[in-house]
Amino acid sequence: MDGRCTHAVLLLLCLGSCLSLTPPAQPFVRQEKASGLGSNSSKGGLSLDVPMALRVFSVDYYHVQAPFEIVLWIMLASLAKLGFHWSGRLPAVVPESCLLIMVGLLVGGVIYGVRHSAPPTLSADAFFLFLLPPIVLDAGYFLPGKLFFENLGTILWYAVLGTLWNVLGIGVCLYGVCLLASGSLGDVSLLHCLLFSSLIAAVDPVAVLSVFQEIHVNEQLHILVFGESLLNDAVTVVLYKLFESFLRLPVVTGVDVLLGGCRVLGVGLGGLGVGLFFGLVAALTSRFTSRAQVIAPLFVFLYSYLSYLTSEMLHLSGIMAIVTCAVTMKQYVEANLSERSNTSIQYFLKMWSSVSETLIFIFLGVSTIQDVHMWSWAFVCSTLLLCLLWRATGVILLTAVVNKVRRNVVTFRDQFIIAYGGLRGAICFSLVFLIDDFPKKRLFITTTIVVILFTVFVQGMTIKPLVELLEVKRRKRNLPTVSEEIHSRLLDHLLAGIEDVVGYWGQHYWKDKFEQFNQRYLCRFLIREERQARSSIVRVYQELERRDERADEEHITQLDSNLLSSLLSSMLFNSPCLFSHFLF
């Protein structure tokens, strides 16, 4: 740790102790106005007791407590992030998520030391309603659509069957462990084990994003792991809710199990539907924002959040909804809004998700410092082992099947990274707190924390050296040129034509059909008239330019890229006919 980093840590410590001095957080407490004589500012916890009726100086902390503490936490998170990035060398070795958890542990320790009571934990509501949506929205908005849909089958295969495999495997085996150690773990039922396994089995999108952003594996491997972590939400939510309801029922009948099966489909498709609806409405709204450009970016955030909240309200998969909403609206919104609005949307999504992610990892650390931890070597260690074991076997088995169908097979090295990259994170942490009270709840919480810390620290820190050791194919840094993109599109059209001729309706056929439908109806309806690209080459160029701009952001100085892109685009815009004539 070099000098600059020490500075940052010291700064954080100060902030941390400042936070710890404040009374226990009671967010959203309202100051009730006292009336009557002589009561002015007598409620201020820190008010200076000047023995006088009228004060020249007074402090009223409770009045601003909720926003003040929230701002301080965000400030701590941002400064921590700033500190790591500033100190250059540290983040190259240790993943940011680990560093943030360590900061959280530190802050939690300081708060515990000063207050002699457990620091505040992140409430499940705050996590699911406020911190998770920005991250998933960001992930959905920047999802590489083409790659995702090309691999959708495999992703769903892993997400649905893989999660089921893991949940059932871990749950049943854990019950076996509990039966073996019936002395201390005898009161844990099979349903409890299944409930626990349903939350511990799911791969966490936040943790995966955070670690995989830094290791730069090839796009296909990345989308397989990340797509799985996004789509398994529907399965996890259903299984968790199902086992939770079963625990409350006096008897579980076959009908109940059947109904549960129906819900898996309903929750997933419902989330998809909600997201699609709000995405299309958002696209339509963005068509009419030309005269109120200032508030145009707002609709992107409002509609996607609304889709998430609506899904949560209807007990559907909120993650599915917000991702679908983002994917649906993206191309239309980008076409309708000005370049500056688009920049703001991208910046704001990245900023928000980055802060949320930071806060989540810091709170993971802070929440680890608790008064009562329940420990059982047998339970904790077997959970850890079972998680690794069932994930590995699951990936190997499922890939063996899927490789028979796929054109480009998932290699053994890829399989290893998929299995090893199955990180757990804040979602299971928040879910475990929501379990109804029962004697071993504390043990479940402790075990969850251990599993999360193990996957984030041990797997997260070793995955980068392993990727290098195994020589896993890396991401190509250079972006596709206009010519490459055109050739790839030509090939797609060709394949669609071949599929049509031989009568095999594969993905290229459907993609082509959807593209036609999109161009003929959706774009005409959802994109402003003056923005509808007249020739497809202009559209391709615009897309590439946008992608290019984002990627180059930190590499090339702004001025040069602006100059270049403006020059190029002005050339293209002034002579689109020339280009399209040349090409088609």
Q: Give, as ranges, the residues between 410 and 469 that touch a second copy (CB under 8 A).
A: 434, 436-437
Of 38 and 503, which has the nearer Cβ to a second copy? 38
| 545 to 89, 96, 340, 479, 566: CA distances (angstroms) | 32, 30, 14, 10, 10
Closest CA to 457 of 19, 6, 99: 99
Minimum distance from CB of 44 to a second copy (Å)?
9
Closest CA to 275 of 232, 301, 307: 307
Question: H/E element holding 135?
Answer: helix 132-141
Minimum distance from CB of 534 to a second copy (Å)?
16
CA atoms of 114 and 116, how far apart (whole Å): 6
CA atoms of 481 and 427, how far apart (whole Å): 39
Interface region with a second copy, contact rule CB under 8 A, candidates 79-87, 375-383, 416-424, 508-516: 79-87
Q: Out of 377, 554, 555, 582, point to the residue binding a second copy (CB under 8 A).
A: 554
Q: Out of 222, 263, 330, 424, point to the residue binding a second copy (CB under 8 A).
A: 263
Other C-beta atoms lying within 10 Å of the C-beta of residue 351: 13
Which residues, at least 6 apart from 50, have a Cβ–Cβ distance to it below 8 Å? 56, 57, 58
Minimum distance from CB of 516 to a second copy (Å)?
29
Q: Are 569 and 482 in contact (CB under 8 A)?
A: no
Q: Return the bridge partners of 217, or none.
A: 474
Of 492 and 553, which has the nearer Cβ to a second copy? 553
Instruction: Answer yes or no whether residue 562 interacts with a second copy by CB under 8 A.
Output: yes
Q: Which residue is listed with tokens 């251990």?
A: 450
Instruction: Answer yes or no whether residue 189 interacts with a second copy by CB under 8 A.
Output: no
Of 42 and 488, which has the nearer Cβ to a second copy? 42
Instruction: Answer yes or no whether residue 56 interacts with a second copy by CB under 8 A.
Output: yes
Of 72 and 495, which has the nearer Cβ to a second copy? 72
Interface region with a second copy, contact rule CB under 8 A, candidates 72-80, 326-334, 362-370, 509-517: 72-80
Contact set for a second copy, span 273-302 (CB under 8 A): 285, 288-289, 291-295, 297-299, 302
Interface region with a second copy, contact rule CB under 8 A, candidates 28-36, 141-149, 185-193, 402-410: 28-36
Per the structure block, which two tokens stand in for 14? 């100060």
Q: Return the bridge partners of 474, or none.
A: 217
Distance of CA 256 to the CA centre of its chain: 32
CA atoms of 440 and 201, how far apart (whole Å): 19
Minimum distance from CB of 539 to a second copy (Å)?
16
Q: Out of 109, 144, 266, 273, point to the residue binding a second copy (CB under 8 A).
A: 266
Interface region with a second copy, contact rule CB under 8 A, candidates 14-22, 206-214, 242-250, 377-385: 242-250
Contact set for a second copy, span 30-49 (CB under 8 A): 30-31, 33, 35-41
